[in-house]
Amino acid sequence: MLSERMIQNFSNLVSIDSISRSEEKVHDYLKKKFRDLKLKVTEDNSKIKTSLGANNLIATLEGTSEKEPLFFSCHTDTVSPGEGIEVVEEDGKLFSKGDTILGADDKAGIAIIIEAIQQIQEQGIPHGKVEFVFSPGEEIGLIGSSALKMDMLTATNGYVLDSGGVVGRVTIASPTLYMYDVTISGVAAHAGIEPEKGISAISILADALQNIQIGRLDETTTANIGVIQGGESTNVVLDHMLIKGEVRSVDPQKANILIQEVSNYFRQAAKKHGGSVTIEIKRMATGFHINDDENVMKTFLKSAKNLGLEVVREVSGGGSDANSFNEKGKKAVNLSIGYEKIHTTDEYIPVEEMKKAVQLVIEIIKNSPNKME
């Protein structure tokens, strides 16, 4: 019966379209849902700044015992194709009908939280204050969580339910991510009659690329150029190009050095050839690394042991809302909740993994240290 209830909650959630920047309806649903569960519901006014479809939402389960407060976090937006999602169950796994994503990333996390709250209330499990954070715009750059004012949260330790693979995996480190746009400007000229009068953006790019590193640079550092655009005709010296790239490293200092090197190499190449460059750099995420001796991990490790879960510590190459929390002084790790093949129409999640995730959330809440500890 509990599984059926959880599956129904999940199906209800994914049936509400919430592609990034269109999260309003699912937030309205969650506000009613949590108020029905007697939680206090608050929200910020961040959508004025973010232009997302909703504000950050916090549902608070007031404590019944003197334990340290905790927070849990999920994001409410999905990627495309994410409209008209219908859930089907096959061999204990939940899929979409096949022409959309499933949306387990991250609505499975939300369904897991709802089920955990219901079981805590029904079983009368003692607990400290627990704050549940729901943020829009994660899929397009952690926008919602980055705009959240952390003084809205009492808890200093928390868990993001937004990672794939079997329950027991925990992301303890994630990279600082910079994205950059480089506009190269040269001088156009007829390529057959007077190419000498032109300054080729291609020459500037080729010069810069001799020095710029791409690919895997070390175990926790990568760099990539993913977009090169420019040119309209073969008989014109190419005078403008747009380059889009990124650098990532778990070591923030290394990421900072790399992005400065990229910028310098483009500027040097432009100067050499007599052209110019405009460079726009955006820091999309700030990296973090959580050790076993920090309270957020101590509570997780104790809880996983109690449930007999195999713990696998992972270093992610991507970002999550955990990056935003850690950047702003809240210790958070990202927990796996069972989904697989996200962002594809083959996405699925085993029901048994969802059930394990529910028990893990409950166990973490039970094992939150007493305030005096």
pLDDT tens readout for residues 40-66: 999 999 999 999 999 999 999 999 999
Cα–Cα distance for residue pair 118/217, rounded to 1 Å: 47
Domain that holds residue 10: 2-174+287-366
DSSP-based three-state secondary structure for 118:
helix
| 303-342 per-position pLDDT tens digit | 999 999 999 999 998 899 999 999 999 999 999 999 999 9
The whole-number pLDDT of residue 75 equals: 98
Q: Is 77 a catalytic residue?
A: yes
DSSP codes, 169-225: EEEEEE-EEEEEEEEEE-B--BTTT-GGG-B-HHHHHHHHHTT---EEEETTEEEEE
373 pLDDT more than 90: no
Question: Mean pLDDT for the chain?
Answer: 97
What average pLDDT does the segment 226-230 reach? 97
- 98 found inside a domain: yes
- 372 found inside a domain: no
- 54 found inside a domain: yes
What average pLDDT does the segment 169-198 reach? 97
232 pLDDT more than 80: yes
Q: What is the CATH number of the domain that holds 53?
A: 3.40.630.10
| 119-175 per-position pLDDT tens digit | 999 999 999 999 999 999 999 999 999 999 999 999 999 999 999 999 999 999 999
- 139 found inside a domain: yes
Assess whether 207 and 161 both reside in one domain: no
- 138 found inside a domain: yes
23, 115, 131, 138: the catalytic one is: 138
**Contacting residues for 50 by C-beta, under 8 A, at least 6 apart:** 136, 137, 143, 144, 147
23, 68, 77, 353: the catalytic one is: 77
Assess whether 218 and 126 both reside in one domain: no
pLDDT tier for residue 2 given thresholds of 50, 70 and 90? confident
Picking from 285, 317, 340, the residue at the C-terminal end of a domain is 285
Assess whether 195 and 87 both reside in one domain: no
The whole-number pLDDT of residue 98 equals: 85
pLDDT tier for residue 277 given thresholds of 50, 70 and 90? very high
Assess whether 332 and 248 both reside in one domain: no
pTM: 0.91
Q: Which candidate, 54, 73, 70, 53, places its Cα nearest to that of 62?
A: 70
Picking from 236, 264, 285, the residue at the C-terminal end of a domain is 285
What average pLDDT does the segment 88-115 reach? 97
| 194-224 per-position pLDDT tens digit | 999 999 999 999 999 999 999 999 999 999 9
The whole-number pLDDT of residue 1 equals: 64
- Burial label for 232, CB within 10 Å (0-12, 13-18, 19+), is exposed
Assess whether 43 and 73 both reside in one domain: yes
Picking from 233, 266, 285, the residue at the C-terminal end of a domain is 285
The whole-number pLDDT of residue 372 equals: 65
Q: Residues in the chain, how many?
A: 373
- 373 found inside a domain: no
Assess whether 345 and 197 both reside in one domain: no
- 205 found inside a domain: yes
What average pLDDT does the segment 20-39 reach? 98
Assess whether 299 and 159 both reside in one domain: yes
Assess whether 46 and 75 both reside in one domain: yes
Q: Is 17 a catalytic residue?
A: no
* Total number of domains constituting the chain: 2
- 371 found inside a domain: no
DSSP-based three-state secondary structure for 248:
strand
Assess whether 10 and 122 both reside in one domain: yes
Assess whether 103 and 249 both reside in one domain: no
The whole-number pLDDT of residue 371 equals: 84
Cis status of the peptide bond prior to 81, with omega within 30 of 0: yes
**Contacting residues for 6 by C-beta, under 8 A, at least 6 apart:** 111, 112, 114, 115, 351, 354, 355, 358
**Half-sphere exposure in the Cβ direction for 350 (13 Å, CA):** 11
Assess whether 157 and 200 both reside in one domain: no
Assess whether 64 and 153 both reside in one domain: yes
Q: Which candidate, 170, 153, 20, 129, places its Cα nearest to that of 83?
A: 20
